[in-house]
Amino acid sequence: MAKPIDKIISELRKLYGKNDVITIAKGHPAVFELLIRTILAARNTDENALAASKELFARYKTPQQISKAPLQILEKLVKRGVFYKVKARSIRKLCGILAEKYNGKVPKTMEELTQLPGVGRKTANIILTYGFGTPAGIAVDTHVFRTVNRIGIVNEKTPEKTETALLQIVQRSYWQEFNSLFVDFGRDICQAKKPQHERCPLRQWCDFYKNLKK
């Protein structure tokens, strides 16, 4: 059964406020730092990604500087969480492209972003939404993927398919705030291991909750 998207968004706004996502990263180098932090956050905790990015930017400030940094030093700076060696290589290669092709600036289109090393559609959506305020889709991170499939807004097996399905049923005016609302909801109430059903304002529409009651 189709879920009432308008009502679900309304309930989440009551909890977390109407979020028009005035860009978190205002201009360069803030957008560049957001890009690097988002890459570091892949399969990692937000805390580790933030700490690693602070270590990196305490030593190197620009794409030009990072592209010329020794790989072993970059690996040590971002050594928090998994795949740090792969991420260090991707970041250095990405920075070289930004320096040479984009004069050190982060591009503003989905096509250009997803051609950069280590940047998939989720990362590109985050940059376009929170960096430039021009969403081209819905960023489906682990919180969004878990919550929308638990509730039954969509029923998909991958983040990519989840975004495709969401774009067909979520009106464009919600795209910009959709990620932030469901990230807050996933961290606060619809947690991975201990969902707070008694506090959940969406349980009347939630397939996961209905199945538990059965």
Please state the domain count of the chain: 2
Q: What is the pLDDT of residue 66?
A: 97
Domain boundary among 91, 109, 131: 131
- Judgement on whether residues 207 and 158 belong to the same structural domain of the protein: yes
User: Is residue 196 one of the residues assigned to a domain?
Assistant: yes
CATH classification of the domain holding 193: 1.10.1670.10
User: Is residue 123 one of the residues assigned to a domain?
Assistant: yes
- Judgement on whether residues 142 and 127 belong to the same structural domain of the protein: no
- Judgement on whether residues 61 and 153 belong to the same structural domain of the protein: no
Confidence of residue 27 (pLDDT cuts 50, 70, 90): low
- Share the mean pLDDT of the chain: 92
Q: What is the largest CA-CA distance in the chain?
A: 59
List the alpha helices (DSSP H) in 78-191. Answer: 84-101, 110-113, 121-126, 142-151, 159-169, 175-188
Q: What is the pLDDT of residue 185?
A: 97
Q: What is the pLDDT of residue 20?
A: 53
pLDDT digits (tens, 9 = 90+) for 30-64: 899 999 999 998 888 888 888 999 999 999 999 99
Domain boundary among 131, 151, 185: 131
The domain containing residue 193 runs over which residues? 5-19+138-213
Which uninterrupted H or E stretch holds 36? helix 30-40
Alpha-carbon span 42 to 70, nearest angstrom: 22
- Judgement on whether residues 63 and 85 belong to the same structural domain of the protein: yes
User: Is residue 24 one of the residues assigned to a domain?
Assistant: no
- Judgement on whether residues 34 and 126 belong to the same structural domain of the protein: yes
Is 163:129 a contact under the CB 8 Å cutoff? no
Residue with the larger pLDDT of the pair 159 and 21: 159
- Judgement on whether residues 183 and 106 belong to the same structural domain of the protein: no
pTM (predicted TM-score): 0.84
Question: Of 58-72, 73-87, 146-160, 192-206, where does mean pLDDT reach its minimum?
Answer: 73-87
- Position of tokens 């979520």? 170
Residue 148 burial by Cβ neighbours in a 10 Å radius (0-12, 13-18, 19+): buried
Q: What is the pLDDT of residue 22?
A: 47
Is 31:131 a contact under the CB 8 Å cutoff? yes
pLDDT digits (tens, 9 = 90+) for 68-126: 999 999 999 999 878 999 999 999 999 999 999 999 999 999 999 999 999 999 999 99
Residue 85 burial by Cβ neighbours in a 10 Å radius (0-12, 13-18, 19+): middle
Q: What is the pLDDT of residue 120?
A: 93
Q: What is the pLDDT of residue 44?
A: 84
Active site residues: 122, 141
- Position of tokens 């892949």? 42
User: Is residue 12 one of the residues assigned to a domain?
Assistant: yes
